[in-house]
């Protein structure tokens, strides 16, 4: 029979290292290294928004694909259901987008809002684009629009006091729900 300690066999335990415990808790996020290395921007050949369309929808967290743009879940969401609308083309700013890309980004945003209202019963949205590193773009070299669903009382003290955002749903579950609610005709 497996004991509770067997479950963690092979994992590093903090008690195995020479250290004096402190009052801080740690949230280990090694998957964020791509955002920390190289000036917090991935190399052009490893842009996650360029790589995502070549993956399966499940692996890339894609919920819908259009002709010029696609919709995926944010890997580091502000709220459950935080979506990104990205053109397939690797462009940095909105003024570089073609009229077709602009139209489809807008259309996909509208559909995403309707789907999120339907499947998550959100009561509002934050929608926006951060253009360039200085404006806070996490991936500054590839245009993307944020769609963040909001609910009454969805804020709490965690972000202010602990610098932590509590996300109540797993990304895979949210992706299945949003993709399942996306209309087959794309509208």
Alpha carbon separation from 136 to 52, 59, 133 (Å, rounded): 21, 26, 5
State yes or no: is 142 an active-site residue.
no
Choice among 68, 82, 142, 144 that is catalytic: 144
- In whole angstroms, give the CA distance from residue 42 to residue 68: 22
DSSP annotation of 143 reads -
Query: Residues 158, 179, 120, CA angle at the centre, nearest 5°?
Result: 45
SS3 call for 131: coil
Alpha carbon separation from 20 to 12, 17, 25, 135, 156 (Å, rounded): 16, 9, 13, 39, 31
DSSP annotation of 117 reads H
- In whole angstroms, give the CA distance from residue 126 to residue 149: 7
Task: Provide the token pair at 157.
Answer: 């003290």
Alpha helices (H) along 61-147: 99-120
Q: Which residues are catalytic?
A: 144
């Amino acid at each position: 029979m497996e004991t509770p300690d067997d479950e963690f066999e092979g994992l590093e335990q903090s008690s195995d290292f020479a250290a004096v415990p402190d009052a801080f808790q740690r949230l280990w996020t090694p998957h964020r290294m791509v955002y920390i290395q190289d000036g917090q921007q991935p190399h052009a050949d490893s842009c996650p928004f360029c790589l995502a369309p070549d993956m399966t929808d499940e692996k890339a967290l894609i919920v819908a694909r259009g002709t010029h743009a696609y919709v995926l879940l944010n890997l580091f969401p502000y709220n459950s259901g935080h979506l990104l609308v990205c053109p397939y083309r690797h462009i940095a700013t909105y003024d570089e987008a073609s009229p077709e890309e602009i139209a489809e980004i807008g259309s996909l945003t509208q559909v995403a809002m309707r789907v999120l209202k339907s499947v998550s019963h959100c009561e509002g949205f934050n929608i926006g684009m951060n253009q360039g590193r200085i404006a806070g773009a996490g991936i500054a070299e590839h245009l993307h629009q944020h769609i963040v669903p909001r609910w009454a009382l969805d804020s709490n003290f965690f972000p202010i006091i602990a610098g932590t955002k509590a996300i109540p749903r797993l990304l895979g579950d949210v992706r299945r729900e949003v993709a399942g609610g996306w209309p087959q005709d794309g509208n």
